[in-house]
């Protein structure tokens, strides 16, 4: 009994242990309130917190993962599986390796390409390779059938065909690397991403096939090998929390540096697979500056003579990153994920450049003067049935001098709540409705509001206002708000 209670006793003494590797949602220690104790919320939240924070949990998890690996060739958690030759795979890439692209995504790629050309920028699209498609023979036995299906009719083949038809310059890494794998190890057995060598081979091939894309050629002088991982070669191994790395060799290229005087600037947008591309591109010496955005907010910056810096910022100005770039490279995810949000923001930034409007830099927190907006519903009266779902469109005009943005961490939202005809509040529920992208100064956009009409018959007012999440209610500074729509419920 004392042994069982030991973790708790030591937790009370606040002895800390080394944290486990991997991204998890951490539970906060709940704050005691009488109300929460009464309804059991405190106890529930405390239990969630305790499950993550008692002393020795990390030792137990590490011991368990080592034991499970030994007994069942399996690791803790459900996101990593072990294939042949101890090759680790992330299950997401095995299970969802065939995401469909949409016409909307293709149209956006085309639009971005055309706008880049109008601005004199060179555009290129890269389809990275999925580990499982390069090494299907290492797939865990029970996933073999799943992978066979993906191999038969894979996303990258269909996307490549479409890009070819549309005349969009692209490179499909999968077939290229599949044939290169006999010469080199292109994915570390312990990692989810392609290794630096694979990224270098792809970029070398791109520069060879598209001589006008980069000023100089990318050349690999020699390849170094090590028993220790390079970059993110062991990221998948990390989240297994196993103690010992499987024995393997890691590879990295040493590139011939370009020594010409005129150097270009490059912008990349894609997924975590871009990390290796940035590393290789910065090593070539071809570029004076590289800005890479992973998804929409991990930003890596490289300047000649400096090392790569990484920052996480929701308030990335695509306009500023793209404005002086000579080359724009977009990549999809290796499973087929085409990043719609980032493509939309790139298109928006290119539009701003073409219109000569200026930056899309978003102020993180707006001030009272930025609450100068107006909202105008298209219909001022609506008849509805009790509980009916209503779709109401309003014109949102930004009269302020700041950009109203829908991006985290402080998104601007349209707010609605219900009152009776005499403006008495029905309840305290305030519903939020997203605006799309950015609303520039003096710009008007349509915002769609989806609400459910009250159940009981009568006359109601749907009050419409705006707020910046965690910052301000516009009503507090803008006397024109809220505006209302009369809803007659039968």
Write out the residues near other proteins by the rule CB under 8 A: 1-2, 4-5, 7-8, 20-24, 37-40, 43, 46-47, 50-52, 54, 57, 60-61, 63-65, 67-68, 71-74, 76-79, 81, 90-91, 94-95, 140, 142-146, 192, 235-236, 238-239, 272, 295-297, 385-387, 455
User: Smallest gap, in angstroms, from Cβ of residue 294 to other proteins?
Assistant: 8
Strand partners, 438: 405
Q: What is the bridge-based pairing of β-strands 327-331 and 309-312?
A: unpaired
In the complex with other proteins, which residue's Cβ is closer, 39 or 100?
39
Nearer to other proteins, 146 or 223 (CB): 146
Closest distance of CB 189 from other proteins, Å: 15
Q: How far is the CB of 399 from other proteins (least distance, A)?
A: 32
Euclidean distance between CA atoms 366 and 373, whole angstroms: 12
HEC profile of 304-364: CCCCCEEEECCCCCHHHHHHCCCEEEEECCCCCCCCHHHHHHHHHHHHHHHHCCCCCCCCC
Question: In sequence order, what E strands does 170-313 have?
Answer: 170-172, 220-226, 250-255, 264-270, 287-294, 298-303, 309-312
Q: Which is nearer to other proteins, 55 or 123 (CB)?
A: 55
Query: Among residues 307, 231, 212, which one has the least CA distance to residue 276?
Result: 231
Looking at beta carbons only, is 51 or 450 nearer to other proteins?
A: 51
Q: Which lies closer to other proteins via its Cβ, residue 341 or residue 358?
A: 341
Residue whose CB is less far from other proteins, 40 or 305: 40
Shorter beta-carbon distance to other proteins: residue 390 or 483: 390
Query: Could you tell me if 329 and 267 are in contact, meaning their C-beta atoms sit under 8 angstroms apart?
Result: yes
Sign of CA dihedral 158, 174, 196, 116: negative
Cα(190)–Cα(246) distance, integer angstroms: 8
Q: How far is the CB of 292 from other proteins (least distance, A)?
A: 15
CB of 295 to other proteins, least distance (A): 4
* 3-state secondary structure (DSSP) of residue 202: helix
d(CA 355, CA 319): 12
CB of 20 to other proteins, least distance (A): 6
The least distance separating other proteins from the CB of residue 395, rounded to whole angstroms, comes to 31
With b meaning 16 or more CB within 10 Å and e meaning fewer, what string describes 76-107? beeebbbbeebbbbbeebbeebbeebeeebbe
458 touches 441 (CB < 8 A): no
Q: How far is the CB of 196 from other proteins (least distance, A)?
A: 17
Tokens of 199: 């990224």
Nearer Cβ to other proteins, position 60 or 224?
Answer: 60
C-beta of 73 vs 420, nearer to other proteins: 73
152-158 contacts, C-beta under 8 A, 24 or more apart: 153/98, 154/97, 154/98, 155/97, 155/98, 155/99, 155/100, 155/101, 155/335, 155/336, 156/127, 156/129, 156/130, 156/336, 158/101
- Smallest distance from the beta carbon of 148 to other proteins, in angstroms? 9
Residues 6+ apart with CB under 8 A from 275: 193, 231, 232, 292, 294, 300
Residue among 150, 148, 168 nearest 160 (CA): 168
Task: Give the shortest CB-333-to-other proteins separation in angstroms.
Answer: 10
Nearer residue to other proteins within complex by CB, 76 or 218: 76
């Amino acid at each position: 009994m004392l042994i069982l209670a030991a973790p708790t006793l030591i937790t009370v003494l606040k002895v800390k242990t080394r944290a486990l590797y991997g991204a998890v949602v951490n539970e906060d220690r709940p704050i005691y309130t009488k109300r929460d104790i009464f309804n059991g919320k405190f106890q529930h939240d405390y239990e969630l917190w305790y499950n993550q924070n008692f002393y020795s949990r990390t030792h137990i998890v590490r011991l368990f993962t080592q034991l499970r690996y030994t007994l069942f060739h399996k690791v803790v958690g459900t996101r990593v599986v072990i294939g042949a030759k101890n090759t680790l795979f992330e299950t997401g890439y095995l299970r969802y390796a065939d995401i469909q692209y949409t016409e909307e995504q293709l149209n956006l790629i085309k639009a971005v390409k055309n706008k880049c050309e109008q601005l004199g920028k060179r555009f290129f699209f890269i389809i990275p390779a999925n580990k499982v498609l390069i090494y299907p023979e290492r797939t865990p036995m029970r996933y073999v059938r799943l992978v066979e299906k993906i191999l038969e009719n894979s996303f990258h083949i269909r996307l490549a065909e479409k890009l070819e038809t549309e005349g969009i310059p692209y490179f499909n890494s999968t077939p290229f690397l599949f044939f290169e794998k006999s010469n080199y190890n292109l994915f570390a057995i312990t990692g989810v991403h392609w290794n630096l060598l694979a990224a270098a081979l792809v970029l070398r091939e791109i520069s060879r096939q598209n001589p006008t894309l980069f000023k100089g050629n990318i050349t690999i002088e020699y390849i170094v090998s090590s028993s220790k991982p390079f970059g993110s070669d062991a990221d998948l191994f990390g989240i297994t929390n196993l103690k010992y790395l499987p024995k393997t060799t890691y590879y990295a290229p040493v590139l011939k540096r370009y020594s010409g005087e005129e150097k270009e600037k490059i912008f990349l947008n894609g997924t975590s697979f871009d990390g290796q591309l940035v590393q290789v591109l910065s090593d070539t010496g071809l570029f004076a500056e590289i800005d890479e955005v992973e998804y929409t907010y991990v930003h890596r910056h490289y300047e000649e003579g400096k090392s790569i810096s990484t920052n996480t910022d929701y308030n990335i100005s695509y306009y500023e990153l793209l404005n002086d770039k000579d080359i724009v490279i977009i990549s999809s995810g290796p499973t087929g994920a085409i990043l719609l949000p980032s493509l939309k923001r790139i298109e928006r930034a290119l539009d701003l450049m073409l219109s000569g409007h200026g930056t899309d830099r978003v102020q993180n927190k707006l001030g009272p003067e930025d609450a100068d907006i107006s909202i105008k519903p298209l219909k001022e009266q609506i008849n509805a049935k009790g509980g009916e779902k209503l779709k109401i469109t309003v014109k949102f005009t930004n009269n302020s001098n700041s950009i109203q943005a829908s991006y985290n961490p402080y998104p601007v939202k349209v707010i609605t709540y219900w009152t009776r005809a005499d403006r008495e509040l029905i309840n305290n529920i305030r519903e939020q409705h997203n605006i799309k992208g950015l609303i520039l100064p003096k710009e008007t956009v349509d915002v769609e509001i989806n609400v459910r009409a009250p159940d009981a018959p009568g006359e109601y007012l749907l009050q419409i206002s705006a707020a910046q999440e965690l910052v301000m209610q516009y009503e507090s500074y803008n006397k024109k708000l809220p505006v209302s729509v009369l809803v007659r419920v039968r």
